[in-house]
């Protein structure tokens, strides 16, 4: 069975239907890049996968757990599904290490010492070993986002959701974050990314999903899809990006 | 003779002040505990917990404190339960304080960006864990100044307990006036003592506000 299975999911805000029957299968080790115009429903879809948004019909199974079930299920699900946000959302009153240690100690009841070791490990992975005791306000945007990635990794997720994680960064800081994500992909982490970084989607992604008007409009292997887009909408989107 | 009664008046007022202080402390500490519990219910996003909490707050904010004191003092007696002025005043002031503190603190909780809830929720933290480790530590910083500011209202609110016969500063003033017939002197002293209790608190609240508004 797929790691994440999305079946005919529909969601509306009042009269506006933002997801009009989306289906998507994500296998272990896949790197799925979701692209599309703003308002196409790509962020909403991503947020449905870990229950930050609810949906009206269809089904989402992540690691065999039905999303949208009762509360206890959602907690179990989120232990295995990590998320990184556009605005970092680090906890400003905690240091980088404390940000990373919080969920392991509170949710998994990992002893402090062990949690500190996990923090050291994942912060080293994102290249921030020397910033363990820095507060978020003392870090650049790129460093903050890397701490946010480390914070998710500390829970040992089976899949990591990335919601436009470079969109709030200054251009010169984008690459340091993308390099970290690329490294994760190489290590076999399952990733679902909503992104505007087309080159990254093509070079690192194993699957490309183009969303348009709340539907999966076109999908396939990134290089093939970018080389020869089948639908006029994607052609226009790709040429618009340049 | 007149000098003699001045010192007697002052001595008695200061003695009575301790009951104002005790009542304020009880109301503030008790109200703080009840208020914190209500805060959790009020922000829980669980409708059947939120609605009764809202009604409770509306009742205590929407009726005069004096009526609440009467209800506790005379109302409870109707059910055959003997209530001392102490009990009635302590209970009414505690509940009244809790309603206001809950609303002050709710504002502070809602001032914390939504992203903090989403990030902590995505890390599989439960509502209580989110509040305890992520939201409240941040909300507390902005809550300190208005909370200390509100304590001034609590101290002044205790004056109403005099009406149900609780002997605190105001009641002592009334009794001393009846005995000495020197209302201006007595009530000027009463007011001065209240001011000495309240002013340091409001000064402290102002200072905290300036200090904590500088974000980290």
CATH number of the CATH domain containing B194: 1.10.3720.10
Distance (Å) from the alpha carbon of B108 to chain A's nearest alpha carbon: 15
Cα separation, A208 vs A193, in Å, equals 10
Phi, psi of B138 (to 5 degrees): -80, -40
Judging contacts by C-beta atoms under 8 Å, the chain A residues touching residue B216 are 92-93, 135, 137
Interface check A155 vs B, CB under 8 A: yes
Both tokens of residue B194? 């209240």
Binning pLDDT at 50, 70 and 90, where does residue A70 land? low
Cα separation, A205 vs A132, in Å, equals 30
Average pLDDT over chain B reads: 91
Cα separation, A20 vs A8, in Å, equals 8
Of A179, A169, A92, A103, the residue nearest A134 (C-alpha): A92
Interface check A73 vs B, CB under 8 A: no
**A162 pairs with which residues across the strands?**
A84, A193
Both tokens of residue A234? 């994607």
Give me the helices (H) in chain B, please.
2-42, 47-62, 65-70, 85-110, 114-122, 127-129, 136-157, 169-180, 183-212
Q: CB atoms < 10 A from the CB of A149, how many?
A: 26
Distance (Å) from the alpha carbon of B135 to chain A's nearest alpha carbon: 9
Task: Supply the range of the domain harboring residue B135.
Answer: 2-212
* Average pLDDT for B121-149: 94
The region of weakest confidence among A60-64, A145-149, B196-200 is A60-64
Q: Are A59 and A66 within 8 A, CB to CB?
A: yes
Least CA distance to B117: which residue of chain A? A89
Which residue from A79, A93, A106 is facing B137, i.e. has the nearest CB?
Answer: A93
Both tokens of residue A114? 């062990």
Q: CB atoms < 10 A from the CB of B143, how many?
A: 21
Per-residue pLDDT at B216 exceeds 60:
no
Judging contacts by C-beta atoms under 8 Å, the chain B residues touching residue A93 are 137-138, 141, 216
Angle subtended by helix axes B183-212 and B2-42, to nearest 10: 40
Phi, psi of A155 (to 5 degrees): -85, 5
Binning pLDDT at 50, 70 and 90, where does residue B1 land? very low
Among A79, A92, A165, the strongest candidate for a mutation testing the B interface, having the largest count of B CBs within 10 A, is A92
Which residue from B118, B121, B216 is facing A92, i.e. has the nearest CB?
Answer: B216
Residues 16-55 of A with CB under 8 A from B: 50, 52
Interface check B112 vs A, CB under 8 A: no
Judging contacts by C-beta atoms under 8 Å, the chain B residues touching residue A48 are none
> In Å, how far are A24, A104, A116, A182 from A119, measured between CA atoms?
33, 9, 5, 20
Q: CA-CA-CA-CA torsion for B28, B39, B57, B69, nearest 10 degrees?
A: -20
> In Å, how far are A32, A208, A209 from A215, measured between CA atoms?
16, 14, 10
Cα separation, A146 vs A101, in Å, equals 15
Binning pLDDT at 50, 70 and 90, where does residue B141 land? confident
What pLDDT does residue B158 have?
A: 94
Average pLDDT over chain A reads: 93
Residues 6+ apart with CB under 8 A from B67: none
Interface check B134 vs A, CB under 8 A: yes
Which residue from A106, A137, A152 is facing B125, i.e. has the nearest CB?
Answer: A106
What pLDDT does residue A47 have?
A: 94
Cα separation, A223 vs A184, in Å, equals 20
Least CA distance to B134: which residue of chain A? A91
Reported as a single tens digit per residue, the pLDDT across A151-168 is 999 999 999 999 999 999
Judging contacts by C-beta atoms under 8 Å, the chain A residues touching residue B134 are 91, 102
| CATH assignment, A4-91+157-241 | 3.40.50.300
ipTM of the predicted structure?
0.93
Number of compact structural domains in chain B = 1
Binning pLDDT at 50, 70 and 90, where does residue A214 land? very high
Whether B134 and A83 lie within 8 Å, measured CB to CB: no
The helix (run of H) or strand (run of E) holding residue A100 is: helix A96-106
Of B123, B112, B92, B90, the residue nearest B43 (C-alpha): B112
* Average pLDDT for A46-54: 92
Interface check B124 vs A, CB under 8 A: yes
The helix (run of H) or strand (run of E) holding residue A191 is: strand A190-194
* Average pLDDT for A25-38: 94
């Amino acid at each position: 069975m797929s790691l994440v299975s999305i079946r005919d999911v529909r969601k509306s805000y009042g009269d506006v239907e933002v997801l009009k029957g989306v289906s998507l299968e994500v296998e272990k080790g896949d790197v799925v890049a979701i692209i599309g115009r703003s308002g196409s429903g790509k962020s909403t879809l991503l947020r449905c996968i870990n229950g930050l948004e609810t949906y009206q019909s269809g089904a989402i199974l992540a690691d065999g757990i039905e999303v949208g079930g009762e509360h206890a299920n959602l907690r179990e699900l989120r232990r295995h599904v990590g998320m990184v946000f556009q605005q970092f959302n680090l906890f400003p009153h905690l240091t980088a290490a404390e940000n990373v240690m919080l969920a392991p100690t509170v949710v998994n009841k990992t002893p402090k010492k062990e949690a500190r070791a996990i923090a050291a490990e994942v912060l080293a992975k994102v290249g921030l070993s020397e910033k363990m005791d820095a507060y978020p306000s003392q870090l650049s945007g790129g460093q903050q986002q890397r701490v946010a990635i480390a914070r998710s990794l500390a829970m040992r997720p089976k899949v990591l959701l990335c919601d436009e994680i470079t969109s709030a960064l200054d251009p010169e800081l984008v690459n340091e974050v993308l390099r970290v994500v690329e490294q994760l992909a190489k290590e076999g982490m399952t990733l679902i990314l909503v992104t505007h970084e087309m080159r990254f989607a093509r070079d690192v992604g194993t699957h490309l999903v183009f969303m348009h008007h709340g539907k999966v409009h076109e999908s396939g292997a990134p290089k093939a899809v970018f080389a020869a887009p089948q639908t006029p909408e994607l052609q226009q989107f790709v040429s618009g990006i340049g | 003779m007149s000098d003699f009664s001045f010192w007697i008046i002052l001595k008695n007022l200061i003695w009575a002040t301790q009951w104002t202080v005790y009542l304020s402390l009880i109301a503030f500490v008790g109200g703080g505990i009840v208020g914190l519990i209500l805060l959790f219910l009020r922000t829980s996003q669980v409708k059947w917990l939120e609605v009764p909490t809202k009604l409770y707050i509306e009742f205590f904010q929407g009726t005069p404190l004096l009526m609440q004191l009467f209800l506790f003092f005379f109302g409870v007696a109707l059910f055959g339960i003997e209530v001392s002025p102490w009990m009635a005043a302590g209970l009414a002031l505690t509940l009244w304080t809790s309603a206001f503190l809950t609303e002050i603190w709710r504002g502070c909780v809602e001032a914390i960006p939504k992203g903090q809830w989403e990030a902590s929720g995505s890390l599989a933290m439960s509502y209580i864990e989110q509040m305890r480790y992520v939201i409240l530590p941040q909300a507390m910083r902005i809550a300190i100044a208005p909370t200390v500011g509100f304590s001034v209202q609590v101290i002044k609110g205790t004056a109403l307990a005099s009406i149900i016969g609780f002997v605190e500063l105001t009641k002592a003033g009334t009794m001393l006036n009846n005995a000495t017939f020197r209302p201006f002197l007595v009530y000027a002293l009463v007011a001065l003592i209240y001011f000495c209790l309240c002013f340091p608190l409001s000064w402290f609240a102002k200072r905290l506000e300036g200090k904590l508004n500088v974000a980290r």
